[in-house]
Amino acid sequence: MEQVLSGSWKLTLNCTRAEAESISADEFALAMLEPMPALMTSERVADDADQWQLDAYFEDKPDDQTVAAVRALVPSAAEADITLQPVDEQDWVTISQEGIEPVHTSRFYVHTSANRGEIPQGVRPLRIEAGRAFGTGQHETTLGCLTMIERMKASGARFHNIADVGTGTGLLAFAALNLWPAAAVVASDIDPVAMEVTEENAKANGVPLGRLPGQLALATAAGIDHPLLHRRAPYDLIIANILAGPLVELAPRLTSVLAEGGTLILAGLLDRQAATVATAYRRQGMRLAGRMAGEWPTLRLVKRTRYGIGRVRRPGPDGPGLAPGFGSW
């Protein structure tokens, strides 16, 4: 008789490519479920948009309500049979990282302990395990942000005060601190587990933690709702790789803590959602300055300069400076 690892169950549903690409935007529908599944999508038949598969992994056997919630993510499977089965005892790190390849950009090499391979010369290696938090670098949204900030660095952009909102694993905050090592960087996430993972990853990658320039500060927060995030504003660079809905909702608050001329990098949105997200930020005085195209685009926006008596002054290292909108939340 096969030995089964207690708490290991797998639910499989057939789906389409479009459904697979939309699942990340709908995962909040599962946030309150116990057990909370880990979702993975893959092609069943290469280059066939109708032949994809959703696998949901659970720590415990899911009940009918949980199964129904997962099925709701895949409308095409509303009447289809499902496969729910215990999973044989095996290395769950290997399962979660199956099929993951290292990410090699112009300045970084992002890998897991299972796929380290030979690290190329001239790049900064970052070990980010797939597991408890989102953002290993393999997803197009994270890769898009990583590439965008690399391009800004290559063009001569300089930033001194950076926030990574919705940091996940901390990857983008680590990369920003590496690109601008004298900057003050803060990483935040609404999920306390994500902040635990970020702290673990920082230590594993030799990223200094603290609240001084050249160090990474951490804050568990919904959006920017944290005293530390308020005190450190205004920022000249904010990275927010979240989801389209929260990005639209956060538009007034994110822009309120961004300095005039500051840059905002947005990701986590599908191509069909880009116009809606960009419009929400234009209404807050932002202009679209760049875009990385694709099914999961990355937007680069810049805060317009405003003039008038309503501009708020804030002390800074070079004397009193102007921080429009600061303190207006």
Residue ranges at the known binding site for S-adenosyl-L-methionine: 142, 166, 189, 241
- Pairwise CA distance, residues 245 & 260, whole Å: 25
> CA-CA-CA-CA torsion for 108, 113, 118, 122, nearest 10 degrees?
20
Return the axis-axis angle of helices 274-282 and 244-256, rounded to nearest 10°.
20
> How far is it, in rounded angstroms, from Cα 315 to Cα 297?
36
Bridge partners for 28 per DSSP: none
Query: Would you state the structure tokens that stand for residue 267, as one six-digit string?
Result: 């990701």
CA 196 to centroid of chain Cα atoms: 15
Distance CA 252, CA 170 (A): 24
CA distance 23 to 46: 19
Amino acid in the structure at residue 159: F
Positions at the binding site: 142, 166, 189, 241
